[in-house]
Structure 1
């Protein structure tokens, strides 16, 4: 056993709880090996079947994985210990968080015209005027808007839909590298992530076809501002992906347009490209405020019914106070002007760093959005090297399934004047660590 943590328990549930506690408290780290079934059974004085049942439950819940002859190990992203970024050390310039620039967000003020009282939330969960605003918002980008619904953020929507559509053990095609919270969510639901490589134009069609042949039941992707790689679907790429998906009409496509209004790339959505099962979901946290835990989704009618059925049985509805706040901001001309300014600024900041890095011979990916993905040979060496120079960037490990190493630099708050110094420091760190590309 590769750790000093001692697993305890005399029942399958007790053993499961013990392993879960060790993982959640950090005493069983990702990749840590669990004892073989028979050895742990002897140590605990229980039958091998009891340990095998515990390990099966841990696998189902995404806490451990079995590697054949490699035995059973703690998952790289166990569902009880999400791949949360480390705390930013004091005094460093934070370029790891991926948050919008507070200076480019509107002031939030809750609506005053709604008073406490009983309203028919379950029978009328969505404010009609916000539904109309959402239809105008998404419809302007070519998304079919006959069926729309709301959720408590994108992750909330995706979790509810996947749990209604799939069963533990089912496979989901995921972008690689991809958004770490979505990767963790899939594991937490007991689903199996199948990596699909991305490039500057989004998911690669040939990789998606391979995933479809492998039997995935859902596909999760971003049409633009892909996090962390920055890809944006071209019209040709969208059509190629749609062609592959039309051959698998039972597969559900979840499209996460998380940056929407502050992405400088046009939307090329799969929702209107003849895909049978689909949902296009948008949040407003990147351009209206991170505390606005609200998302809107347009879906095919089956997906909408399954989502709303689960919503009715759980939280029931999204706060009408929150809906009023979002509606006020979405329809405010001053806020629209600020969002337009933010879109321009984020593109300038991202481009400034990409060009500065290129000037030092350092290639980076970031066709849209608020991040750059920089391939490196040794993530830890680069992160620590930049830390010594006052920069804090994100190691790529928590974004990756099978893709090559890299680091993510969030450029949302990086002023163009800062880009030359960061690029110079980055090139110096690469030289010091000998993490040159291909060498």
Structure 2
């Protein structure tokens, strides 16, 4: 037995199970390095190939990741156990979660009565009224609405799409920096991530082309409100990306438009460019309710058939109670007024924080959405420093693969007066960290 790590096993399956147990019960935390293959093989009295096979299985299941010369380490959010987001310390303002302002969300109105049904809803999984509202929602922004379906949120939808389209070991082009839950999901499905650097206009075309030539079979991107950087596709960037994708007709392109009506910018969607394989997903959590686990997807007919075929075999359908609730909100004129007002407020708060930081010489990125991305030299120093001033922000590490360090600040519930105070504290912390760690 390997005493330092308490791993055991005489074959790859047993060794992988031993590592998994250590991760699940917390003995191995995120980022913990596993022993080199040859060392663990010697400790256990097995061949290096046996340990390498065990590590490969753990990678494919999203429990560990390999960082080249950095070795194999436990994933940031390993796909095992019941881990939860880090607890926000008491007495600080939470600007780390990426959540909307509750004061700008409509009140949910579930149906007061739900009549029993005969059998199940598998034969009619989508409420016609909500399907028509969803088609209108997409058509308003020019997204083709010929094939529309529902899921239990964006991550549920993307997971199903990738599971039906790709096999373990296939590659997916992802944004860097990108939405941390998607960056956790892809390796958990046994898929390889190929990072594509993003700027204020979204994915960079040259880098997307590089990943496609390297074998990416799917592309995950955000046309606006990109998390964490806030980028959005312009008309010019959309045209450049479509020109790159033209040479790869078999690649599935998935757009995550999670901010949609509250992003603060118009949509320039790749789906309007005649792509053979595509999906455009919109969730309700940011503009209707974080607890309304419903999303609508417009896509090509093949993608629809594959997605709904897998849905039919698993959960079967999205709860009609949820669908009825979503339909009521989408059709409610007062809710639409509230959403339009929320978009204005989010834009004002986002731009106010960027301007306040700029007055202290601090550059930030936030073209759309609910967050502000601030490049820094030392993430830990800034996060810990701001905590001492009463602010809780997110370290950029959880959003990055190879892009430079930064912190993400959720500006959604940050009034302008508080943005001014936060910017002053941010400048103070930067000065303190430079004095401590060098300029």
Normalised to the residue count of structure 1, the TM-score between the two structures is 0.95
CA distance in 2, matches of 1:121, 1:394: 41
CA contact (8 A) 2:109 2:328 kept: no
CA distance in 2, matches of 1:82, 1:159: 19
Gaps of 5+ in 1: none
CA distance in 2, matches of 1:3, 1:295: 48
1:174 aligns with 2:174: yes
Q: 1:116 Cα shift?
A: 2.3
CA contact (8 A) 1:194 1:216 kept: yes
CA distance in 2, matches of 1:112, 1:33: 53
1:305 aligns with 2:305: yes
Q: 1:211 Cα shift?
A: 1.0
The equivalent residue for 1:380 is 380
The equivalent residue for 2:14 is 14
Q: Secondary structure at the match of 1:258?
A: coil
CA distance in 2, matches of 1:284, 1:93: 25
Relative to 1, partners in 2 of residues 1:387 and 1:112: Cα closer, same or farther, differing over 3 Å? same
Q: 1:83 Cα shift?
A: 8.9
Give the 4+ runs in structure 1 shifted more than 6 A.
none
Q: Secondary structure at the match of 1:183?
A: helix
Gaps of 5+ in 2: none
Deviations 1:205-248 (A, max 9, x none): 11111111111000000000000000011001111101111111
Q: 1:60 Cα shift?
A: 1.9
The equivalent residue for 1:416 is 416
Q: Secondary structure at the match of 1:217?
A: strand
CA distance in 2, matches of 1:433, 1:48: 44
Q: 1:183 Cα shift?
A: 0.5
Relative to 1, partners in 2 of residues 1:208 and 1:388: Cα closer, same or farther, differing over 3 Å? same
Aligned residue pairs, count: 438
Q: 1:54 Cα shift?
A: 1.8
Give runs of aligned pairs for residues 25-424 of structure 1, distance below 5 A.
25-67=25-67, 71-80=71-80, 85-118=85-118, 120-424=120-424
Q: Secondary structure at the match of 2:216?
A: coil
Relative to 1, partners in 2 of residues 1:11 and 1:320: Cα closer, same or farther, differing over 3 Å? same
Q: Secondary structure at the match of 1:136?
A: helix
Q: 1:18 Cα shift?
A: 1.5
Relative to 1, partners in 2 of residues 1:47 and 1:363: Cα closer, same or farther, differing over 3 Å? closer
CA distance in 2, matches of 1:408, 1:105: 22
CA distance in 2, matches of 1:284, 1:17: 38
Deviates more, 1:405-414 or 1:50-59: 50-59
CA contact (8 A) 2:10 2:46 kept: yes
CA contact (8 A) 2:60 2:187 kept: no
Q: 1:351 Cα shift?
A: 0.7
CA distance in 2, matches of 1:303, 1:282: 16
CA distance in 2, matches of 1:83, 1:178: 21
CA distance in 2, matches of 1:70, 1:33: 9
CA contact (8 A) 1:375 1:407 kept: yes
CA contact (8 A) 1:378 1:435 kept: no
Q: Secondary structure at the match of 2:58?
A: helix
CA contact (8 A) 1:82 1:184 kept: no
Q: 1:347 Cα shift?
A: 0.5
Q: Note the aligned Cα RMSD (angstroms).
A: 2.2
Normalised to the residue count of structure 2, the TM-score between the two structures is 0.95
Deviates more, 1:80-89 or 1:249-258: 80-89
CA distance in 1, matches of 2:434, 2:336: 46
CA distance in 2, matches of 1:237, 1:83: 38
Deviations 1:382-415 (A, max 9, x none): 0000000000000000000110000000011101
